[in-house]
Structure 1
């Protein structure tokens, strides 16, 4: 997979303190005294996650119908404002020679969500990973998320959700398979 980022905890804490001080906050106040440490640890947690082994199994039974895991919780950071976006992922695939251990869907979402990015890129990365690892007959990923950069600032549109999708193989090219996947993922959040 990929190696996690090298994190300098002390430098991150010092940078958080400098930012908070530049914003005019008094870090000698009791409630703010430990905030740089907590803030840096929270951001480190939101931008790094554990690697995992993608457990697959032979598709000995020749299963060829849609496998869909819905409402996988996700949280990531908008790369433009470093504010969270939070939502769910729906991932489906049409098995080829191998099938995926079901818990790996959630781990795959978490792995790819742990970095600043756009929702579009996150959707594509999850789909690409599944396509590359399994070589299935089709892959579909739909992500629905609320972006705090849109709800807390700028447009200030609380409750607005963004939906993105990435489709490969029969889930992209076969109208009936595509319609089945998209119908099953609509209105689930």
Structure 2
């Protein structure tokens, strides 16, 4: 099982939520990390044997991964109106942590292959009591994440509320699967 201890020194630890549900990703399944930042989840999942794709507007913190097999880095600003860099692609798992750009929410199910897993964790309303982010544009309303995927994905787990680790915050967390597509 993945643990938050499996990380590169000097980088933030992987999310405990991602570690908890990473074993549900099919062995060798392709993983996408949107707004991947320093690559903490890319590194973890690559170490678990998954080919990984990371998207961020600045991929310079990922330079040490660029030459590795089964690693794809895409430098793209997901918010500036540029064409979506992953149109038509499918992944066995899509990870989004500490990032919210509401226009992307409806696209997420389309990025998943049949049976694919969405792992999403970000800040929620009430977080302004604890610091950043405090802008309502970056804070989910109660139940918003759940409602965004309810019609297209099967919810495996959902949490909403205050956490103390890695820092005190208000969050919403979701693990959800794309329904298996009928064959035939």
Tell me the TM-score normalised to structure 2 length.
0.27
The structure that is helix-richer by fraction is 1
**Structure number with larger C-alpha Rg:** 1
* TM-score, L = length of structure 1: 0.26
With CA pairs under 8 Å and 6+ residues apart, which has the higher RCO, 1 or 2?
1
